[in-house]
Amino acid sequence: MQVPQDGEDIASQPWYHGPLSRQKAEALLQQDGDFLVRASGSRGGHPVISCRWRGSALHFEVLRVALRPRPGRPTTLFQLEDERFPSLPALVRSYVTGQRPLSQATGAVASRLVARQRPIRRSLSEDTLLDSPAQIEPLRARKWSDSQPAGLEHMGRSREGLSGPGASAVPLSALPRTGSDPVLLTTPAPLGSIADSLRASDGQLHAKAPNKPPRTPSLMLPDASGRPPTYCELVPRVPSAQRTPAGHSCPEPEAPWWEAEEEEEEDEENRCFSRPQAEVSFCPPDNPFCMLGPQNRPLEPEVLRTLRGLFLEHHPGSTALHLLLVDCQATGLLGVTKAQRDAMGVASGLELLTLPHGRRLRLELLERHEALALAGALAVLGCAGPLEERAAALRGLVELALALRPGAAGDLPGLAAVMSALLMPQVSRLERTWRQLRRSHTEAALAFEQELKPLMRALDEGAGPCDPGEVALPHVAPAVRLLEGEELPGPLDESCERLLRTLHGARQMARDAPRFRKAAAGRLRGFRPDPELREALTTGFVRRLLWGSRGAGAPRAARLEKFQRVLSVLSQRLEPDG
């Protein structure tokens, strides 16, 4: 099938449906090979290829790679798997005309486009996301509004009066910021209410728009989407839509908690020692989950299918950042409140887990590690389909481990959980599955044997990389197990050396906690997580998913023993002995 090459404008492509929810996209995909491209609301408008394959609707996020502007070269590349393209239509043409799998893990092939039935109501945010910057210029020429009083008359006009023939229907609420033009994210207040609130001094604006916006926002507009509010530079000190009294400005939009700057520490001479009040937990209580009801059974099939599609929709690098974010919160590296610092007597969970009153945190980290490892093993052992499906699941875990390693995301607790899943006896005994991995995904198999396994062995022995510039979150499992009384394996002399290395690493980890915090915040700067994927990686969600709402409250040892038996049965069914 030939994909139309009528220019590179995304709106001219029949397979592009604009903003479309996942549920509506799946309803349009009827047969294997049907595909469409949509702007995902949960991913900030990023393009997603939705395709039906083997009776299931799959969703693949297209990554955008920003380049330094250079003459004659695109400023953005679009990537699916490992190959990059100068435009989204070029990417779709390559995969459809060549009948190439959208991902090696699923083998899904897009062969039949699902054409849209109605014109797209495109917003300019989609133009800047998917197309070339040249499309922005006509809209700037229309001068919807500017920083001068003369531009106020345009606020009351309808779009029909301002758009010319062939112009896109652009909602007023989506104009992007270009230069010193204002940002309008919601419908502005009526012209009469703004004009009446103007004072004589308000009309004395510069003849030329200012180069930079003022530090203090002057007009705060409500956002029905629930996102942090933004400001508008139309008129200085105009009351906002919430009727804020004149002369009072609204605060700047707050950054996510993982990007907020840490409070400056007090001077050592002015700081007073405070006795720890109680053990602190960084694992949030089991609040209602979006994908789980108040009462759920273990391993509900519908939830597992949703999770499978959710993980396939995200690139391993994106999943690694989601896991880093949740691990940093569970370890108490980021997001620690002042009340928690006062209660535990230290500033970070990396320090707390080395102290006697950090036992609750140590137990939570052990349970998190074990639950994530069991969930990773289940991702492989739960594949009851063809052999290639299990090999693809193994490849996905290996790629996630590579994205978590030092120098990448640098999330060593996440790396340890994924490697524990791959090295679990119920998974490692699947000889035919591993043989298929080496045959179909040779690079992943070599990376696992030659890079990941030696790295994990060194980390467990306390000899792996631990520099905060290379690592965002250190490997805490050896120190936690040691402080909880677990014996070290191996001969006595080797055990003593390992004991000393582990204790030295724990002291160094606590001392370097501020540097690890800085490294983790740097990797997460600008990151906007998917709420569903972030929820799916929390300890409480994984515990409820594996053991159900009733079993999640059972003793930890009993839960682990029971689930190990479940994994052994699944492994035997996939590849019986003999």
Q: Is the pLDDT of residue 79 over 50?
A: yes
How do residues 175-220 score in pLDDT, each as one tens digit? Answer: 344 443 443 333 444 433 433 443 433 343 444 444 444 443 333 3
Amino acid at 222: P
**pLDDT at residue number 260:** 56
| Distance (Å, whole) CA 56 – CA 301 | 14
pLDDT in the model for residue 255: 57
pLDDT of residue 278: 65
As beta bridge partners, residue 63 has 79
At position 325, the amino acid (one-letter code) is: L
pLDDT at 461 exceeding the cut of 80: yes
Mean per-residue pLDDT for 298-316? 90
Report residue 426's pLDDT band, with 50, 70 and 90 as the boundaries.
Answer: very high
CA dist., res. 258 & res. 527, Å (int): 9
**β partners of residue 92:** none
What's the pLDDT score for residue 384?
85
Query: Strand, helix or coil at 554?
Result: coil
Q: Would the pLDDT of 8 be above 50?
A: yes
Q: Greater confidence, 359 or 240?
A: 359
Please give the DSSP secondary-structure letter assigned to residue 173.
Answer: G
Q: What is the pLDDT of residue 66?
A: 79
Confidence of residue 490 (pLDDT cuts 50, 70, 90): low
| pLDDT confidence band for 430 (50 / 70 / 90) | very high
Is the separation of the CB atoms in 67 and 77 below 8 Å? yes
Q: How far apart are CA 85 and CA 74, in angstroms?
A: 10
User: Mean pLDDT across the chain, nearest whole number?
Assistant: 76
**Tens digits of per-residue pLDDT, 374-397?**
999 999 999 988 999 999 999 999
Q: How far apart are CA 482 and CA 488, in angstroms?
A: 8
The residue-averaged pLDDT of 21-40 equals: 90
pLDDT tens, residue by residue, 97-134 = 888 888 877 888 999 999 888 776 554 344 444 443 33
Looking at residue 43, its pLDDT comes to: 67
Looking at residue 4, its pLDDT comes to 43
Q: Which domains occur in the chain, in start order?
A: 10-130 (3.30.505.10), 218-251 (no CATH), 280-574 (1.10.840.10)
Q: At what angle do helices 359-381 and 539-551 cross, to 10 degrees?
A: 80
Per-residue pLDDT, averaged over 426-454, amounts to: 95
Q: What is the pLDDT of residue 349?
A: 92
Q: Report pLDDT digits (tens) over 511-528.
A: 999 999 999 999 998 888
For the chain, the residue count is 578
- Averaged over 483-508, what is the pLDDT? 84
Q: Which pLDDT score is estimated for 86?
A: 86
Confidence of residue 494 (pLDDT cuts 50, 70, 90): confident
